[in-house]
Amino acid sequence: MRLGQLAAMMTTLVLWSALSSLLGAQQTLAISAEKIYVGDGTIIEKGVIIVSGGKILAIGPGSQIEIPRGTRRLRVRGSVTPGFIDAAADALLGASKDEQSSEVTPEGRAIDGLDFGSLLMKRLAREGVTTVYATAGNSAVITAQGATVKTGTGDVQNRILTRDGAPKLVLISGPERGNARPRNPAGISDFTRLPLGRMGGIFVARSALGQAKDRLRIAKAGGKVAKNAAFDVLGEVLSGKRRMRVLARRQNEVSTASRLAKEFGFSYVIEQGNEAYKNIRELKRDHAAVIYGPMRSSSPSMAGVSRQLRRFFTDPNLNKILSTPRVLIDAKIPTALTAGGNTGEYGLARQAMLAMRCGLSRAEALAAVTTVPAQLLGVQDRVGTLKVGRDADLIVWSGEPLDATSIQSHVFIGGRRVAGKVF
- Residue range 247-251: mean pLDDT, rounded: 94
Name the pLDDT band for 20 (thresholds 50, 70, 90).
Answer: very low
pLDDT above 70 covers a percentage of the chain that reads 82
pLDDT above 90 covers a percentage of the chain that reads 67
Name the pLDDT band for 199 (thresholds 50, 70, 90).
Answer: confident
What length is written for the chain?
Answer: 423
Mean pLDDT (the chain) is 85
Name the pLDDT band for 305 (thresholds 50, 70, 90).
Answer: low
pLDDT for residue 295: 81
> Do residues 32 and 44 lie in contact, with contact meaning Cβ atoms separated by under 8 Å?
no
Rounded distance between C-alpha atoms, residue 51 and residue 57, angstroms:
5
Distances (CA, A) of 17 to 11, 22, 23, 66, 422: 10, 9, 10, 31, 15
pLDDT for residue 24: 42
pLDDT > 90? residue 59? yes
Rounded distance between C-alpha atoms, residue 342 and residue 417, angstroms:
21
Question: Looking at per-residue confidence, does 6 or 61 come out higher?
Answer: 61
Tens-digit pLDDT profile for residues 63-113:
999 998 889 999 999 999 999 999 999 988 865 566 777 889 999 999 998
Other Cβ atoms within 10 Å of 120 Cβ, number: 17
Tens-digit pLDDT profile for residues 321-357:
888 999 999 999 999 999 999 999 889 999 999 999 9
Name the pLDDT band for 383 (thresholds 50, 70, 90).
Answer: very high
Name the pLDDT band for 173 (thresholds 50, 70, 90).
Answer: confident
Name the pLDDT band for 420 (thresholds 50, 70, 90).
Answer: confident
Q: Is the preceding peptide bond at 294 cis, omega within 30 degrees of 0? A: yes
Question: Looking at per-residue confidence, does 386 or 183 come out higher?
Answer: 386
pLDDT > 50? residue 146? yes
Rounded distance between C-alpha atoms, residue 115 and residue 97, angstroms:
12
Q: Which residues of 324-345 are buried (b: 16+ CB within 10 A; e: fewer)?
A: bbbbbbeeebbbbbbbbbbbee
pLDDT for residue 15: 38
Provide the pairing of β-strand 268-272 with 244-248: parallel
Cβ-Cβ contacts under 8 Å for 342 (sequence gap 6 or more)? 91, 294, 296
Least trusted range by pLDDT, from 23-32, 256-265, 340-349: 23-32
Rounded distance between C-alpha atoms, residue 43 and residue 81, angstroms:
10
